[in-house]
Structure 1
Amino acid sequence: MQKFIAVSIIVFLAFFIGVENNQVLAYGWGYKKNTDHKPPDIGEYQGLLDKYGAYYADLSGDKVIYLTFDNGYEAGYTGDILDVLEKEKVPATFFVTGHYVDREPELIKRMVDEGHIVGNHSYHHPDFSTISKGSIQEELEALEQAVAEVSDQEQLKYLRPPRGIFNEQTLKWTSELGYIHVFWSLAFVDWETSKQKGWEYAFDQVMNQIHPGAIVLLHTVSSDNAEALEHLITELKKEGYEFKSLDDLVIKDEIPRPIYGF
């Protein structure tokens, strides 16, 4: 089931999962892939994201890009990625798990020291739709504490749900806990370390799907991504794109955000 979920997410096919213990439907983040250089239509998901102040793209029409990386374990390429980001003066957000923080404290510290944002991907990477609000809070707070112990970032306000699984209940609960959900509008199958296809493949996948306001999801375990990143940044800058952080996206958002439990 987990493999099916992961594949479905990245090829942008929406699916539904029945949760037997509370009969609440769960959704795997997905949408129809397009190459017309416009944000993909996410259908009824848009209403849920608007209701709970979540993001999948910057819909202002501005020619900006937000780079995000998911880090569950280290394969030796994150340092190279950070080198490129530093050279090109490009900000990024790294969504990390407890396993990653425990194993790679120096990389977490480097991310923060070099001006990047560390995002919350939960401590143990569970399916949020199958656990209680209290358990979700424990997962998020444990990860936040772990990051604070090895870096100067004391709070994590951006959340990417494990496996991209969510429902209205998990959106509501995490909003009440003060987190902002961040999904994505551009991704591809890049996490299979034994099936890398060369940096040109990663480059083409991004360039074919790029659009103004894209929140790009990449995985740092991909050698293709590490090798393609500088080429991508250089080409996208030539095309007039700017790279900004998620903080910039939230600041520019003039729509009042919902506040729960305060």
Structure 2
Amino acid sequence: MTAGNTAAASAAASPGGAYHFGFKKSVGGSRPSINEEGFKGILERHQAIFLGDTTKKELYLTFDNGYENGFTPKVLDVLKEKKVPAIFFVTGHYIKDQPDLVKRMAAEGHLIGNHSWSHPDMSVISSGQIANELSKVKDGAAQITGQQQMEYLRPPRGIFSDHVLAVSKAQGYTSVFWSVAYKDWDTKAQRGRQYAYDSVIKQLHPGAVILLHTVSKDNAEALGQIIDAARSQGYEFKRLDQLTSKSY
């Protein structure tokens, strides 16, 4: 999972040049911002994804799957019913533990993204180790789904550096961050369907990349309502590979 810093607080670099992704949240449809963070130039240089086209009412659903907590089948059921595409960022543990769900994701038209094999802090491992973390996930997913392509990466815990994004890009990946999120990954601090719904809807903005964790019971229960409310506001859900313009 990605327990990233989604608060408005600025993300300071560690002595090793690593950052923990953070941003200023959208309020009332306003554009979120990373202008106060020290890493905006790094994301731009490596063409990482933070926002889509902020002139269009398009939304991109992304899910982090570090482990299975019993709610991903419900999430997939809702996406299928609502005809909404998504991308699921999976770890090695998830690939080994839940091959049938990974196969279902692909079969139902969703993208499979790379969340690393062992969920390490990639800013403290070597280029070779990063490449190995990514290749093991790609190969493992391909064996399950038959799909050889894997183009998107979400750094574990939202921790990254210029080096991490450079090595990932050299491996053929676009790093994907997010512009809508809330603290949903703590399974011991679930606060109900309405809280999940409110937390997402109040942050919606054109070009939003939405981060959700499938371990959250609240997310599974609120997802259908979130989709319906977003569509009622004129938003369209698109798959990440349909994103044509990046904003920073």
2:241 and 2:152 map into 1 onto residues whose CA distance is 9
Matches within 5 A, 1:1-262: 6=3, 9-16=5-12, 18=14, 24-43=16-35, 44-249=38-243, 252-253=244-245
**What SS class does the counterpart of residue 187 from structure 1 fall into?**
coil
| Equivalent pair of 2:26/2:205 in contact (CA under 8 Å) | no
**What SS class does the counterpart of residue 25 from structure 2 fall into?**
coil
Distance 1:170 1:146, change over 3 A: same
**What SS class does the counterpart of residue 96 from structure 2 fall into?**
helix
Q: If the length of structure 2 is used for normalisation, what is the TM-score?
A: 0.94
Deviates more, 1:111-120 or 1:30-39: 30-39
More helix by share: 1
1:32 and 1:100 map into 2 onto residues whose CA distance is 31
Deviation at 1:254, TM superposition (A): 8.6
Deviations 1:195-251 (A, max 9, x none): 2111000000011111011000000011110000000101111111000011000xx
| Equivalent pair of 1:39/1:185 in contact (CA under 8 Å) | no
1:10 and 1:62 map into 2 onto residues whose CA distance is 23
2:25 and 2:222 map into 1 onto residues whose CA distance is 21
Deviation at 1:160, TM superposition (A): 0.3
Extract unaligned runs of 5+ from structure 1: 256-262
Size of the aligned set, in residue pairs, is: 244
**What SS class does the counterpart of residue 5 from structure 2 fall into?**
helix
**What SS class does the counterpart of residue 16 from structure 1 fall into?**
coil
**What residue identity is the alignment partner of 1:11?**
A
**What residue identity is the alignment partner of 2:24?**
K
| Equivalent pair of 2:112/2:150 in contact (CA under 8 Å) | yes
Q: If the length of structure 1 is used for normalisation, what is the TM-score?
A: 0.89
Extract unaligned runs of 5+ from structure 2: none
Deviation at 1:32, TM superposition (A): 2.1
Identity of aligned residues (%): 47
Deviation at 1:47, TM superposition (A): 2.1
